[in-house]
Amino acid sequence: MTHETAPAHDFEAVIIGAGVLGGAIAVELARRGLRTLNVDKAPTAGAGSTSNSCAIVRFSYSTVPGVSLAWEAMHYWTDWPDYIAADDELGLITFNRCGQFNLLVGGDDHSATVRTLWEQLGIPFEEWTLDDLAQRMPVLDHGLYGPPKRPDDPHFWDDAHGTVTGALFSPDSGYVSDPQLSCHNLQRAAEAAGGEFWFNAEVTSVDRAENRVSGVTLADGRRVVAPIVVNVAGPHSAVVNRMAGVHDSMNIKTRALRHEVHHVPAPQDFDFMADGMVGADDDTGFYFRPETGNNVLIGSVDPTCDPREFVDPDDYDTSLSQEQWEAQVLRANRRMPSLGVPHEKRGVVDLYDVSDDWLPIYDRTDLNGFYVAIGSSGNQYKNAGAVGQLMSELIAAVESGHDHDASPVVMTGRYTGWEIDIGFYSRNREINADSSMSVHG
């Protein structure tokens, strides 16, 4: 079927991507009465980078808007059955509200920033002493070993030069049991409101008529005509922006970053599934959470000593590297000495869609009708429900003639009633110096 002979399919909004953000945006737009279509090159919802998300729900961001959006979004997870409001033959996800701690390492570190923001916004938290930490997480060593190093650093195994001072504990944090299933839940919710989903549907062209988007063309020749197109393509976001001709006009841009997450058995005599929790350790440079089968999922907080490998999202090494396996698992052993290092490497390799300052871009573009929800990988999975509302309100306002660039739209959170300035996520912002410039956001 050629482009010239392919029939056109009419919709009111096309969403490129059916990951967790694409699904949430579809839910909100469809519930506003728009005829929506999600197109995704993968075979099922969430089969892209969302499927390998750590799916941690937390509020430990570096900015007031970041914490505010995450706190609003948490309520979607606790209210998931009512929010989805549709049957899913695969069942609904479970939100494991196990809590999260951030180690306090002293000085002006990320955890100190988090404490200030939580106090300012009234986010519930506890401040743990070392005795509290020992009681709740007895497998942890309390030494200070930072700043983070790689195993080939001659000082990697140096003795501790002090102790952590305690931890901040957020009882409302946790993780989602099955990130890909969450996307299927969102698909069913959007379909119940009239939305459609096409899979194995790769976009090859973002079409326009003068300075207005007019739809997309797919690799199989199908044409979709729509006055609104939303780029939620994850690691392929920059590719899609180039198709639309908006990449160069954006001050903040995105790139695909290769990332590894590893799985290791929990320390003996500690039931991580029952008694473990999400943890963040900026001193040694890793984070973790319980994983099915009494395992520990280990990720990197992107310390400066780790190389950052930006890649072509269609051509990158999907095998676990020995170097990064050793770096992350050995860092975890500094904090959990009884963890050990399995002989067999286990984990996943996938891509983050990273913006220049590690904060997402939720915005319109210079092409009328073309919107972006990008730069979100690594720290925005948890915000999906709130981002759906944010993008739907932005699109409704701009399509009604509001000049968002001159006077940013302000969203009122559905659950909290908090006001969130969408202009914070502008494509034309300067690099935000308050960002952690890491997966912390």
Distance of alpha carbon 368 from the chain centroid: 26
Alpha helices in 249-383 (DSSP H): 272-275, 322-335
CA dihedral (334, 336, 338, 344) positive or negative: negative
Per cent of the chain over pLDDT 90 is: 93
Of 311, 283, 312, 286, which Cα lies nearest the Cα of 298? 286
Q: Which residues of 93-109 are buried (b: 16+ CB within 10 A; e: fewer)?
A: bebbbbbbbbbbbeeeb
- The whole-angstrom separation of Cα 145 and Cα 149 is 9
Per-residue model confidence (pLDDT) at position 296: 97
CATH number for 95-175+257-352 (one of 3.40.50.2000, 3.30.70.1140, 3.30.9.10, 3.40.50.300): it is 3.30.9.10
Tens digit of pLDDT for each residue in 206-238? 999 999 999 999 999 999 999 999 999 999 999
Alpha helices in 249-321 (DSSP H): 272-275
Q: Which residue has the tokens 């991507």?
A: 17
Tokens of 231: 């780029």
Checking if the pLDDT of 258 tops 70, the result is: yes
Spatial contact of 379 and 59, defined as CB atoms under 8 Å apart: no
- In the predicted model, what is the mean pLDDT of residues 357-376? 97
Of 340, 317, 320, 321, which Cα lies nearest the Cα of 329? 340
Of 384, 439, 436, which Cα lies nearest the Cα of 259? 439
φ, ψ of residue 438 to 5 degrees: the values are -155, -175
Tens digit of pLDDT for each residue in 13-71? 999 999 999 999 999 999 999 999 999 999 999 999 999 999 999 999 999 999 999 99
Domain boundaries, the chain: 8-91+178-253+357-425, 95-175+257-352
Q: Do domains 8-91+178-253+357-425 and 95-175+257-352 have the same CATH topology?
A: no
**What is the β-pairing status of strands 223-225 and 212-218?**
antiparallel
Per-residue model confidence (pLDDT) at position 329: 97
Checking if the pLDDT of 286 tops 70, the result is: yes
DSSP string, 124-150: --EEE-HHHHHHH-TT---B---S---
Tokens of 203: 């976009």
Tokens of 260: 């590894």
Checking if the pLDDT of 1 tops 50, the result is: no
Mean of per-residue pLDDT scores for the chain? 96
Distance of alpha carbon 179 from the chain centroid: 11
Where is 113: in which H helix or E strand? helix 110-121
The pTM score is 0.97
Checking if the pLDDT of 2 tops 80, the result is: no
Tens digit of pLDDT for each residue in 395-408? 999 999 999 999 99
Checking if the pLDDT of 5 tops 70, the result is: no
CATH architecture of 8-91+178-253+357-425: 3-Layer(bba) Sandwich (3.50)
Beta-carbon contacts of residue 41 (< 8 Å; ≥ 6 apart): 48, 200, 201, 202, 203, 236
Per cent of the chain over pLDDT 70 is: 99
Beta-carbon contacts of residue 440 (< 8 Å; ≥ 6 apart): 60, 61, 62, 110, 280, 301, 358, 379
